[in-house]
Amino acid sequence: MSQLKVMSAIEHCRTAALGGHVEACEDCGEWRIAYNSCRNRHCPKCQGAAARTWLAEREADLLPVGYFHVVFTLPAEVAAIAFYNKALVYDLLFKAVSETMLTIAADPKHLGARIGITAVLHTWGSAMTHHPHLHMIVPGGGIALDGSHWISSRPAFLLPVRVLGKLFRRLFLTRLFYLHDAGKLAFFGSVAHLADRRAFMRHLSPVRRKRWIVYAKPPFAGPEAVLEYLSRYTHRVAISNSRLIAFNETDVTFRYKNYRRDGRDRQQVMTLAVDEFIRRFLLHVLPRGFHRIWHYGLLAGSARKTNITHARELLHAEPSPPDVEEDEPIDFRPQCPCCGGRMIVIEVFKRWRQPRAPPDEATRNRENTL
């Protein structure tokens, strides 16, 4: 049902089905129709405004330090279980990863500090296959456990990825086994046999021994780069309109990255049948009410502002700009594409309705003579 709602919202986005309004320029009289957006979080066309609002709120939280990008990826054997248990397994992924990062960072053998984390869930690969992984943006350091000073990480090193991977594997699998023993996991189709505990243990036996992938990229070049990077990750959906090359009634052609190749060969083109393209897109519809962005440590909950203020004091940085009220309200009216004037709403029409057509020249002349 949720997938049907997503497809219906995307299909009707910015069409007469959702209603809209007519705008006209105050100066030159230019007019245009603007249809309403669906505002669905899975719609490629509706995430731009949401991302800009979210980023504006995050800008005050940035600290004058380097930021690291850390990625935790679920093995394919676990991803197969997550496919049928999205809410439970994705929630477990967030909890296991955040606990892993906070625990290792607080260990005096590594950093010995309380860090801040912004975590973003992605469930897709570049070809829209099911590939759950967590992107984390982490400041290069944290507040000492006694709160007395700021502890900086090394310039190009935050935490050891092998240590992170081992703890992540242990925490995740321990809790996944608990969910299975409690009868909370569901299995269908090709994995229906995993409902049996012995089959479940055999299925996960390889991942209990192999290394779980944790990848840490070098730090960003300043807070502006962090915001620019976040803008590309926080509100992304499985595929954006910019990657589409061509489509017709039978096929869809789009660009994707083949990470098994390097250089120019990495950028490739794929053509899928329409039904397969839609199927892959719908793989990544999140459960209702599930949040794909979470904050942890210094950035968590109501203590975030207090922690950021304290961190700035320890770093001898300028305080965050206070929230000030503008003397004059901001003019949100869009500019006229013809003369640069301001567009005003002259008509609002409801769902499944069309706006009235503007009067033609003959009608205008007749009205003027009466």
> What's the pLDDT tens digit per position in 110-141?
999 999 999 999 999 888 899 999 999 899 99
DSSP secondary structure code for residue 335 in this structure: B
pLDDT at residue number 106 = 96
Query: Is the CA virtual torsion 50, 53, 57, 63 positive or negative?
Result: positive
For residue 235, with 0-12 CB atoms within 10 Å meaning exposed, 13-18 middle and 19 or more buried, which class applies? buried
What is the reported pLDDT for 3? 80
Q: Tell me, what's the pLDDT at 368? A: 47
* Geometric angle at alpha carbon 333, from 325 and 27, rounded to 5°: 130
CA 43, distance to chain mean position in Å, is 12
Tokens representing residue 235 in the block:
């509100």
Phi, psi angles (nearest 5°) of residue 137: -105, 120
**Which residues in the chain land under pLDDT 70?**
1, 47-50, 219-224, 231-232, 319-333, 354, 356-370
CA 123 – CA 155 distance, rounded (Å): 30
Q: 205 vs 88, 133, 209, CA distance in Å?
A: 21, 21, 7
Enumerate residues 6+ apart whose C-beta is below 8 A from 18: 12, 35, 36, 37, 38, 351
Helix (H) or strand (E) holding 257: strand 251-257
Neighbours of 102 (CB within 10 A): 19
